[in-house]
Amino acid sequence: MSDLDDFKATYFDECSELLTELEEQFSAIEEGERDADRLNAVFRAIHSIKGGAGAFGFSALVGFAHAYETLLDYVRDGRVDLTDEVVNLCIRANDIVADHVNAAQTGEALPANYGAAEKTRFDAIARGDAVETDDDGGAPMDEFDIEFTPVRVDLEVFADGEAPVDDAFEVPPMTTMEAGQWEIRFTPHQALYARANDPLLLFRELAALGRMSVRPVLRAIPPISDFEPFGVYASWEISIVSPTVTEAAIREVFEFVEGDCDISIVDASLGGVNPPPEVLVEPVWEAPDEIASLLQLSDDEVAPAFTPEPAAVAVGAQDHFEEAPGLSFAALAEELKTLAPPKAPPAPVESAPVAAAPKAALPSSGDGDEHGARTAGVQSIRVDLDKVDRVVNMVGELVITQSMLTQQMDETLRARYTELVRGLEVLAQTTRGLQDSVMAIRAQPVKSVFSRMPRLVRELATKTGKKIKLETIGEATEIDKTVIEQLSDPLTHMIRNSADHGIETPEKRLAGGKSETGTIRLSAEQAGGNILIIVEDDGAGINRERVLKLARDKGIVAPELTPTDEQIDQLIFAPGFSTAEAVSDISGRGVGMDVVLSNIKKIGGSVHVRSWTGKGTRMTLRLPLTLAVLDVMLVKVGGGPYVVPLSSIVETMQCSRASFERVPSGGKVLQVRGEYVQVIDLAQRFEIGTEVAAADRFVVLCETEGSHKVALVVDDIIGQQQVVIKSLEENFERVEGIAGGTILGDGNVALIVDVQGLKTTPLHQSAA
């Protein structure tokens, strides 16, 4: 039970990867890159989703995926042109597949005919095209035409040169067949056994479809002198009688061995079509003596190839052959065990020389493009994230210990123990390298989040009736996995916001002299120790008057305050704030944007909005590159240690050298190179007493979002170091002005100052 659940979980994991891949491929296809590789990738993805779905019995998904796959197959073969219409249908189909997968995962039921319209479109497109190919019909079709005329059958398969013309029983897969008797001829290739498939299992599945009889065709067995231990000499003829079975159902049984065998499926009830040539059910095994002698031989000469066990069964099966020409299923099962070449030969004679060069042997086992592509997967492994996290944590602790050790080295020690110093230097380098490598394991391209957005934008465009184009830039930028996971919700909200409030209706856009289609640009870039994710639209921009009025009405901003434009823009992140005149089902309930802010803050990032009236809005997420280790400046406030992220520090200076100015509110501003910067005294803000004389204190000039500066006044500056960020919320709750905690070399906890949070607090506080 739990095993199956495990498999399911893996399947859904894979599905989400495959769906991402689909999204990617189609966005490239949409741009015009319509090469075969992309189509093949799409086909493989859908096929894999379908295959897994079949194994778990998600029949709705299988049904839809199958129809979709059929269309793709036609496109791949060139029978259907990849027109824009088809591409759009495919993109829509991807969404439906995603919905099906989602429904299967959550156990929710989709409407019974969900996707039926698209399914009909697939068929229509496939058929429509089939008519065309019919016209320029190839030569082989004529002869089939004659044979098949009594029944209306789509013949598109035969238009393709690939169709196994030499096989008289081939029938197009798209046809819906009537009930009756089916004749199947199944000739496995060696590859089928090499991939550890067992015909017996296939027969069992077939047997579930209806009344079945199986006849082995053993004519191909050569005389013992030419007998290859691993050769494949058996084929089978199977007939199934069932009123309900369709060709598709039969094909499905063989789905996973396609390409590793020849199969022909013929509806015998159509009559006369298939006198299978020489259906003589003759288990021609005329030389039992030879077999017997072979068995005797086996001990010495062929020993490694034949284990005694199957040999014994072979003798048992032998009897069945002689007494029953029309073999029963059970007997066949026995027979199969012996006739099928040993699947994992214990010590195959042939492979002995190969064993010396195992690497060379590998490619030969995976022939065919699809399989070749899959073997590349061996290069990566799936590892439980917890395990990686444990390593990350330990490396973090190691980094701290290392920096603590380095700090212990004073000048006298340095002079006396040069070897120790050198050792510590090497240790420092190694830890740094180790840390980078571990972080690289966790890093993932933002593509995994970005790729979900095109669909969102499509849906939003449909719902709002606007024309919206999404551009993504810098998808390959890598961020820590935890950050990526936390990114999905905020991005969704931001894009919704842009689509709903930012982009105008086509009419308004045209009236405003813009192009009809609005653009949302989603980009990611690395900037120092941060990652910037920017959501930009070319819409109307933030209506500041209305935002301010609403904020005042809702009591978010006190009436006497006059916030700057920038502060007004930031108000859209205040809890309970929404400017949408009508609450739509997309956004407007005022719960979206404050979620963005809190999610981003939770991962140590910040959000900044800039808006240009009539031109658009830009929202910038600044995220830490990694969550685990942070370069910080250690400072002292009121006797306690605090750390300020180094990435936000511009410069530090002594208070006695800084020029403070007073402002009417009683606060101070700092003049730095002609710029006036808000001053925050940490001791005051954190309500901790300080005994340090004002002149001896220090100013830490920090840069926050959007290159706005803030000056923090602290008692002392201790130095730089690396720290591991620890959550306060894990055991406590969020504390205003504090981004988290960290453990110093002496084992004490130091708090991480939330610079951006400090800067924005006053507005909210005076409002409350």
Partner 1 sequence: MEALSLRDDVSDKTALAGQNTLQLIAFSIGEQTYGVEITTVREIRAWNGATPLPNTREFVRGVINLRGTIVPIFDLRARFGDGQTSPTKNHVVVVMSVGDKWVGILVDAVSDILTVSKDDIHNVPEGNSIDTELLNGIVTHDSRMVGLIDLHAVVSGAKMDG
Instruction: Catalog residues that contact partner 1 under the rule CB under 8 A.
Output: 1, 393, 397, 640-641, 685-688, 726-728, 730-733, 735-738, 741, 743, 747-751, 765, 768
Which residue number, 695 or 749, has a Cβ lying nearer to partner 1? 749
Taking the complex as a whole, the smallest distance from the CB of residue 718 to partner 1 amounts, in Å, to: 14
Taking the complex as a whole, the smallest distance from the CB of residue 730 to partner 1 amounts, in Å, to: 7
Provide the residue type at 286 as one letter. Answer: E
Q: Give residue for tokens 């042109």.
A: 81
Tell me which DSSP letter residue 362 carries.
H
Which residue number, 238 or 635, has a Cβ lying nearer to partner 1? 635
Sheet of strand 530-537: strand arrangement: 468-473, 518-527, 530-537, 616-624, 606-612
Number of neighbouring beta carbons within 10 Å of residue 50: 22
Closest CA to 214 of 336, 94, 95, 124: 336
Taking the complex as a whole, the smallest distance from the CB of residue 8 to partner 1 amounts, in Å, to: 16
d(CA 189, CA 581): 68
Which residue number, 40 or 684, has a Cβ lying nearer to partner 1? 684
Q: Three-state DSSP class for 15?
A: helix
Q: Three-state DSSP class for 653?
A: strand
Burial of 4 (0-12, 13-18, 19+ CB in 10 A): exposed
Taking the complex as a whole, the smallest distance from the CB of residue 680 to partner 1 amounts, in Å, to: 12
Which residue number, 286 or 733, has a Cβ lying nearer to partner 1? 733
Which residue number, 171 or 751, has a Cβ lying nearer to partner 1? 751
Which residue number, 657 or 732, has a Cβ lying nearer to partner 1? 732
Helix (H) or strand (E) holding 757: helix 755-767
Taking the complex as a whole, the smallest distance from the CB of residue 728 to partner 1 amounts, in Å, to: 6
Taking the complex as a whole, the smallest distance from the CB of residue 686 to partner 1 amounts, in Å, to: 3
User: Are residues 216 and 279 in contact, defined by beta-carbon separation less than 8 angstroms?
Assistant: no
Which residue number, 528 or 639, has a Cβ lying nearer to partner 1? 639
Taking the complex as a whole, the smallest distance from the CB of residue 710 to partner 1 amounts, in Å, to: 17
Which residue number, 554 or 726, has a Cβ lying nearer to partner 1? 726
Which residue number, 656 or 765, has a Cβ lying nearer to partner 1? 765
d(CA 344, CA 348): 9
Give, to the nearest 10 degrees, the angle between helix 36-56 and helix 59-77.
160
Taking the complex as a whole, the smallest distance from the CB of residue 434 to partner 1 amounts, in Å, to: 18
d(CA 149, CA 151): 5
Contacts 24+ apart (CB under 8 A), 725-728: 725/604, 725/627, 725/628, 725/629, 725/630, 725/752
Which residue number, 54 or 640, has a Cβ lying nearer to partner 1? 640
Taking the complex as a whole, the smallest distance from the CB of residue 555 to partner 1 amounts, in Å, to: 14
Which residue number, 360 or 732, has a Cβ lying nearer to partner 1? 732
Taking the complex as a whole, the smallest distance from the CB of residue 129 to partner 1 amounts, in Å, to: 51
Q: Give residue for tokens 């195959």.
A: 348
β 468-473/518-527 pair status: parallel
Q: Three-state DSSP class for 574?
A: coil
SS (H, E, C) 42-107: HHHHHHHHHHHHHHHCCHHHHHHHHHHHHHHHHHHHCCCCCCHHHHHHHHHHHHHHHHHHHHHHHC
Taking the complex as a whole, the smallest distance from the CB of residue 43 to partner 1 amounts, in Å, to: 39
